[in-house]
């Protein structure tokens, strides 16, 4: 990728040198792409290089192996949302998860569209329940894209497809109410909205986040627990306090 001009979502930024920054952007056709932004820590660029912002990125490199130089133009700022605790925590987590979980240069158009949808929902929804369901679905999609998808088509114990109410933490497969008898405490609740779609009440949303969180921690973020999972813990705790 010697040269690339693309729309993108800012997912992660870290300082590099005295004035620069390395930004990792999620693009529609090239997946996660990193680049060096000269003056990325300046007063002018800091509001642009904020996770969640939609930008136009111009990557230029001499070789495929070289870290590209990157210039960024702001398309849509989501900075105002960062003043609100719940939206800020949701943007922080969804972008941090994306940057930590994906390898660079692997196309994932479905994830780009889904993350863009989550961020748009956070921006548009008057209350967290309007975007929390979208966030759970994004996490499920990311697990599936990375090869750790849950099998929610039929019960692992009975083979039936009805009344699926749990997920086995061992196999990541659904379990029906009948198949779970005697083992309920060992299983993870499966909220109905995960299977059938639609909106959800807060208890189901919290169960959905617990479900995806278990598999993200076990299969995806195994070597990044301290920093990335802390963002998720902040989000879940804020959601619990908001609905308590």
**Residue 111 included in any domain:** yes
pLDDT surpasses 90 at 225: no
Overall number of domains in the chain: 2
Label residues 34-65 b or e (16+ Cβ within 10 Å = b): bbbbeebbeeebeebbbbbbbbebbbebeeee
Please report which confidence band the pLDDT of residue 1 belongs to, taking 50, 70 and 90 as the band edges: low
Q: Rounded distance, CA 162 to CA 175, Å?
A: 10
**Is residue 71 domain-shared with residue 86, that is, in the same domain?**
no
**Residue 106 included in any domain:** yes
Q: 3-class DSSP state for residue 137?
A: helix
* Phi-psi category of residue 216: left, alpha or beta, with phi > 0 → left and psi -120 to 50 → alpha: alpha
Which residue, 36, 58, 77, sits at the end of a domain?
77
**Is residue 71 domain-shared with residue 99, that is, in the same domain?**
no
From residue 54, alpha-carbon distances to 34, 72, 97, 221 in Å are 15, 10, 17, 25
**Is residue 211 domain-shared with residue 108, that is, in the same domain?**
yes
pLDDT surpasses 90 at 87: yes
CATH number assigned to the domain comprising residue 42: 2.40.50.140
Q: 3-class DSSP state for residue 71?
A: strand
Mean pLDDT of 141-157: 97
Mean pLDDT of 38-55: 95
**Residue 110 included in any domain:** yes
Put simply, whether the predicted model's pTM sits higher than 0.85 gets the answer yes
Candidates 206, 212, 209; CA nearest to 142 is 212
Instruction: Name, in order, each residue with C-beta under 8 angstroms of 229's C-beta and a sequence gap of 6 or more.
Output: 217, 221
**Is residue 45 domain-shared with residue 108, that is, in the same domain?**
no
For 158-198, what is each residue's pLDDT tens digit? 999 999 999 999 999 999 999 999 999 999 999 999 999 88
Range of the domain at 132: 82-152+190-243
164-167, strands of its sheet edge to edge: 174-176, 164-167, 188-189
**Residue 109 included in any domain:** yes
């Amino acid at each position: 990728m010697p040269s690339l001009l693309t729309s993108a979502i800012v997912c992660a930024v870290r300082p590099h040198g005295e004035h620069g920054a390395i930004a990792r952007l999620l693009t529609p056709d090239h997946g996660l792409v990193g680049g060096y932004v000269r003056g990325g820590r300046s007063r002018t660029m800091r509001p642009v290089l904020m996770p969640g912002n939609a930008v136009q990125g111009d990557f230029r490199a001499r070789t495929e192996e070289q870290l590209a130089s990157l210039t960024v133009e702001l398309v849509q700022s989501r900075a105002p949302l960062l003043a609100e605790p719940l939206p800020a925590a949701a943007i922080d987590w969804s972008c941090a998860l994306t940057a930590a979980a994906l390898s660079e240069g692997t196309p994932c158009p479905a994830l780009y569209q889904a993350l863009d949808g989550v961020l748009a929902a956070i921006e548009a929804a008057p209350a967290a329940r309007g975007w929390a369901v979208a966030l759970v679905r994004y996490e499920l999609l990311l697990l599936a894209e990375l090869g750790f998808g849950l099998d929610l088509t039929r019960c692992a114990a009975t083979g039936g497809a009805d009344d699926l109410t749990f997920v086995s933490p061992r196999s990541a497969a659904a379990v029906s109410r009948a198949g779970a008898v005697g083992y309920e405490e060992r299983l993870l609740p499966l909220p109905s909205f995960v299977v059938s779609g639609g909106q959800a009440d807060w208890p189901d949303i919290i169960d959905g986040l617990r479900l995806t969180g278990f598999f993200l921690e076990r299969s995806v973020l195994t070597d990044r627990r301290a920093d990335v999972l802390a963002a998720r813990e902040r989000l879940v705790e804020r959601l619990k306090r908001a609905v308590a």
